[in-house]
Structure 1
Amino acid sequence: MRKSLAIGALLLATTLGAQAQPSLVQPQDKTQSSPRLSSDVQARAKRLSDQMARDLRLNGYQSTKLRAINEDKVAKMAAIERRNAGNAKLIDEQCGLVCKERDQELRAVLSTDQYSDYYDSRSDFYRFDKDFAARAVNTSFVNSVQNPLPASSKGATIGPASTPAPATRSTNVRGR
């Protein structure tokens, strides 16, 4: 009885010890965008915001608000484009809804004249953003071909190896 209890305790301790050890291979979280993608989205939003601020002659406060709005909307549009890749009709439909959200938010930031100018130029801004996004996708495709991930990575990343403790010689020698 004691022997089976001791064996059970040993198995439990071994199992818990194995679970506490961190794994060196960590799967990539595919629900989050990669850091490179976020910088692409930020660059896309910055470029669009700069163009809009120039064309609409915005002041500093309006430009700051516009940048925040565009970062949010461009991130949503990039997610839609990734999720529905290959279905241009669905992408345009869903991105159109995001653009309507932007219209409502910009109404509170822009003057009446500026909003009128923006409203008249919406299709130009949309095309400007789409052209930049298409060029960014082509650039990242070329980069992925030039610098491919290892064939067997399956999205996993390898963490730094832990150094094993140096082996010590036992002072207990059998027979002594």
Structure 2
Amino acid sequence: MTTKTAFASLVLALWASAASAQQAPRASNVQLRDKTQSSPRLNPVEARADRLSNQMVRDLRLNNYQSEKLRAINAEKIAKMAEIERRNAGNQALIDQECNGVCKERDRELQAVLSNDQYSSYFGSRATYYKYDKDYAAQSASILLTNSVQNPAPARANGATIAPAKPKPANQPAGNLGRNAR
């Protein structure tokens, strides 16, 4: 009787340890994504503005209040510049002219947010920040993809458009040529 009791308690202990091992939380290195935030893959304008803002915050050594204001200003101005680039695609002179006006708006708004030393540092590096943003926009394939999805019928220089070809008539044999045909 003792052997049966010892065996039963051993089986019960093994069963309990196996059950607790299955329910133990596993440490995972996969980070959960906040689904309330947009994905940079789906919103290239936000990603572009965040990238520029991060660079400016590091270079100018902004505090939290200034960085939040800078991020809001950059988000608005980058959205305007992306719209200008989309609207005037192919006309680089007009894009540069209109984007220069948007950059002047940003300069006026940043002058109210930044200290004198920070603003003078920013003002001296404006061309660098503009080039930093333009290089990212030029390399960003997702902006081009978004544009091609929004305008699916590309036009050629000679006025022709790409369209589906005419369907070929189906050649069907006359009569029944199956296995039972004689």
Give the TM bin, normalised by the shorter chain: 0.5 to 0.7
Matched, 1:77 2:81: yes
Structure 1: distance between partners of 2:89 and 2:82: 10
Correspondence for 1:106: 110
Deviation digits for residues 130-159 of structure 1 (CA, Å, limit 9, x no counterpart): 0010111x35547999xxx8x98xxxxxxx
TM-superposed deviation, 1:39: 1.2
C-alpha change, 1:48 and 1:36, in structure 2 (3 Å) is: closer
Please point out which of 47, 57, 61 is paired with 1:57. Answer: 61
Q: Which has the higher contact order (CA 8 A, sep 6+)?
A: 1
**Contact 2:41-2:142 at 8 Å conserved across structures:** no
The residue number in structure 2 matching 1:30 is: none
Partner SS for 2:110: helix
Which structure would you say has the larger Rg?
Answer: 2
Deviations 1:54-109 (A, max 9, x none): 00000000000000000000000000000000000000000000000000000000
Q: Distance in 2 between the 1:91 and 1:144 partners?
A: 16
1:41 aligns with 2:41: no
Q: Does 1:121 align with 2:125?
A: yes
Amino acid at match of 2:49: A
Q: Which runs of 5+ in 2 are unaligned?
A: 1-38, 153-161, 164-182
- Equivalent pairs counted in the alignment come to 115
Structure 1 unaligned regions, length at least 5: 1-34, 153-176
Q: For residue 137 of structure 2, what is the aligned residue in structure 1?
A: 133
For 2:67, give the aligned amino acid: S
* Two-structure CA RMSD over aligned residues (Å): 3.0
> Relative to 1, partners in 2 of residues 1:86 and 1:108: Cα closer, same or farther, differing over 3 Å?
same
Question: Aligned pair in 2 of structure 1 residues 130, 119: CA closer, same or farther (>3 Å)?
Answer: same
Task: Confirm or deny: 8 A CA contact 2:86 2:147 kept in the other structure.
Answer: no
Aligned AA (2:104) = K
Q: What is the percentage of aligned positions where both structures have the same residue? A: 58
* Residue of structure 1 aligned with 2:94, choices 84, 90, 97: 90
Quote the residue 2:72 is aligned against.
68
SS at match of 2:43: helix
Under a length normalisation based on structure 1, what TM-score does the superposition of the two structures give?
0.59
Between Structure 1 and Structure 2, the one with more helix by share is 1
Task: Name the CA distance, whole Å, in 1 between partners of 2:145 and 2:45.
Answer: 18
Runs of 4+ with >4 A deviation: 35-38, 139-145
TM-score of the superposed pair, with normalisation by structure 2 = 0.57
